[in-house]
Structure 1
Amino acid sequence: MDEPVCCVYISVVIIQDVPADPLSDVLALSGLSAACSVRLVAGGDWALRFRPIALKFNVVQRGSCWLLADGMPAVALQAGDCFVVKGAPFVLASDPGVPAVDAAQVFADSPHAAQHGSGDDVALLGGSVTLEGPAASELLELLPGAIVIRAQPHEVSPLAWLLDALDREWRAGQAGARVVCNDLLRLMFVHALRQHIDTSDVGALGWLAGLRDPPIAAALRSIHAAPGHAWTLPALAAIAGMSRSAFALRFRQSVGQAPVTYAARWRMRVAALRLKNTASSVSGIAASLGFLSDAAFGAAFRRVYGVSPGQYRRS
């Protein structure tokens, strides 16, 4: 008698025609990665000074503490709050007046977890975020020295869900946990950046402010969806539904540069990524981005990066 056959069917849903998303495009070209590296538990009177060399992203898992960073007053942090510090020393403390100890001493025995002070009043999870791609400067130049993202109600906050998942993975220690933790931290950083865009003063956001202006956002989506198109002011103004003069002024006020200039620079960002991450020839990349000759492509690339496409790829 034949043995019964067990069949497992996996359903895969493919989402097509995902709309262009300028922030996702910039993040993709920024080489965003995250490493969930530290868990700190502290209690009593305590203060630690951190000296990061990259973007540090941390979240308060439990309890409360204070953040002291250069250029901003002391900030009280509560459970669920996140903060980003851009490569500068900062202090975490039970009270702003407590003298700080170098965190390197506390983490000397274990670089990934430490207990400091007396008790476990507060717990934090955090790690490093790196932006190393061709568009990294597009984001790094706009981020202030420190950003604090306040917790939202748990039922409406993706950050709260991600924090729960991150805590479970960190504690479980299952196979692949480090990769999962890194990906969760990366997602948390993106959500924190999105919340920063939605809640910050427009004047402090640079080109990101354009994402909050529907006509300008429509033009940005079109530029990012077709980087090889020879965009003109009339064409972009028509997409925004505005006159050319009004659109040009509004775009410059929101983004900080003229529409055609932004389109040309974005084309070069895409070119740089393809030079770095693909085996396509320089001529092929030039043609894919709408250039009629290698010479024209080389001149445009050199204006932005200061070197030829070939030199950029070799470096």
Structure 2
Amino acid sequence: MDASTARAVLHYVLAGGCRIAVTGTAALDPSRGELVLLPAAARHRISPLPGLRGVSPPPPPTAAGGTGPADPADPADPLGPAVGIAALDGPGGPVRLLSLRTGYDPRAVRPLVAGLPRAVLLERRRVEAAPLLRDTLRLLAEPGRRPGPGDRLLVLRAFEAALALAAGPRPPGAAHPHPGIGRTVAAIETRYAEPWTVETLAREAGMSRSSFTAAFREAVGTSPARHLTARRIREAARLLAETGLPQSAVPARVGYRSRVGFHLAFRTAYGTTPGEYRAAAPRRA
């Protein structure tokens, strides 16, 4: 992993409850259906909740359904398997965790990561209210599922969805943002190549443009247009670095009708041209 690549870890509780002690901050006690996001993969230890005796530390997660190291920040393993299942057995009942690891370009998500604590607990109701995140976690946790070449991309998508959820403030007393915002975030995530405008995104949400823009900014932490641009440029960077798609075909593939507009947006996001980014890709791999 290149020095310009950051890494993140997610732990999703499938059964029971545990304690995740994070270096430099307060411990978190997630239970079934809750997700802990460590946006900078801070060192941490997973253990049974206090009061449970005779329970060993969780075995390290490897591939889904297996076991492996519990601390994803092990310096000998800079990234590790993308998907793993860890299990803790004890008198308090079984505890199962879906553990995910991903690398990402910090420049693409700097506004979302800035200001987040070293570990964020996303309550079950918030995860359930985010269809893209919820469904990706369920897919990765399916019993008997075998690791595949698309795991890294799925985990990256789960990280991006969790990051947007963690960075988006909630109104006091509200369980989750307007459901229309969730629909538009999912639409941007999966249908970024469509010719979206703020007006069409507002229609997708079933809201007026002004109400939609305000609600989106409150929930996600940025404007709809900026979020759409960031999603498109992230996908463009992936295509340039990981595929042989002709560079001339990339703008249209991610929703740009103007090559000039695409080049300007890419250079603003990454500080380099698409061609220079592709040329440097082998060194980042």
Q: TM-score, normalised by structure 2?
A: 0.52
Shift in CA distance, 139/58, structure 1 to aligned 2, threshold 3 Å: farther
Aligned counterparts of 1:204 and 1:251: Cα–Cα separation in 2: 11
Q: Pick one of 227, 233, 240 that aligns with 1:275.
A: 240
Residues 30-41 of structure 1 mapped to structure 2, 5 A cutoff: none
Which position in structure 1 is the counterpart of 2:102?
Answer: 130
Counterpart residue type for residue 26 of structure 2: P
Which position in structure 1 is the counterpart of 2:260?
Answer: 295
1:89 aligns with 2:46: no
Which position in structure 2 is the counterpart of 1:203?
Answer: 169
Aligned counterparts of 2:179 and 2:18: Cα–Cα separation in 1: 38
Aligned partners of 1:67 and 1:92 also within 8 Å:
yes
State the percentage of identical aligned residues.
Answer: 28
User: Which structure has the larger Rg?
Assistant: 1
Shift in Å at residue 307 of structure 1? 0.7
Counterpart residue type for residue 205 of structure 2: A
Counterpart residue type for residue 145 of structure 1: R
Shift in CA distance, 78/55, structure 1 to aligned 2, threshold 3 Å: closer
CA offsets 1:53-88 (integer angstroms, 9 cap, x no match): 8637497999x9754324543456889998555532
Shift in CA distance, 221/233, structure 1 to aligned 2, threshold 3 Å: same
Shift in Å at residue 310 of structure 1? 0.5
Residues 218-233 of structure 1 mapped to structure 2, 5 A cutoff: 218-233=183-198
What do you get for the CA RMSD once the two structures are aligned? Answer: 5.3
Aligned counterparts of 2:176 and 2:32: Cα–Cα separation in 1: 29
Structure 2 unaligned regions, length at least 5: 1-6, 51-56, 61-66, 71-89, 125-134, 281-285
Which position in structure 2 is the counterpart of 1:262?
Answer: 227
Aligned partners of 2:107 and 2:269 also within 8 Å:
no
Shift in CA distance, 67/294, structure 1 to aligned 2, threshold 3 Å: closer
1:244 aligns with 2:209: yes
Aligned counterparts of 2:220 and 2:175: Cα–Cα separation in 1: 6
- SS of alignment partner, residue 203 of structure 1: coil
Structure 1 unaligned regions, length at least 5: 1-52, 97-102, 115-119, 152-157, 170-176
Which position in structure 1 is the counterpart of 2:22?
Answer: 69
Aligned partners of 2:38 and 2:118 also within 8 Å:
yes
- SS of alignment partner, residue 169 of structure 2: helix
Which position in structure 1 is the counterpart of 2:119?
Answer: 146
Aligned counterparts of 1:248 and 1:80: Cα–Cα separation in 2: 30
Aligned counterparts of 2:260 and 2:142: Cα–Cα separation in 1: 53
Aligned counterparts of 1:72 and 1:224: Cα–Cα separation in 2: 31
Aligned counterparts of 1:256 and 1:82: Cα–Cα separation in 2: 20
- SS of alignment partner, residue 231 of structure 1: coil
Aligned partners of 1:210 and 1:254 also within 8 Å:
no
Aligned length: 221
Shift in Å at residue 308 of structure 1? 0.4
Aligned counterparts of 1:282 and 1:212: Cα–Cα separation in 2: 38
Shift in Å at residue 259 of structure 1? 1.6
Shift in CA distance, 239/190, structure 1 to aligned 2, threshold 3 Å: closer
Shift in CA distance, 309/88, structure 1 to aligned 2, threshold 3 Å: same
Aligned counterparts of 2:176 and 2:34: Cα–Cα separation in 1: 24
Q: TM-score, normalised by structure 1?
A: 0.48
Shift in CA distance, 210/233, structure 1 to aligned 2, threshold 3 Å: farther
Shift in Å at residue 92 of structure 1? 5.7
Q: Pick one of 217, 220, 235 that aligns with 2:182.
A: 217
CA offsets 1:131-182 (integer angstroms, 9 cap, x no match): 336997479828642356899xxxxxx999x9896xxx9xxxxxxx9959xx
Aligned counterparts of 1:218 and 1:60: Cα–Cα separation in 2: 25
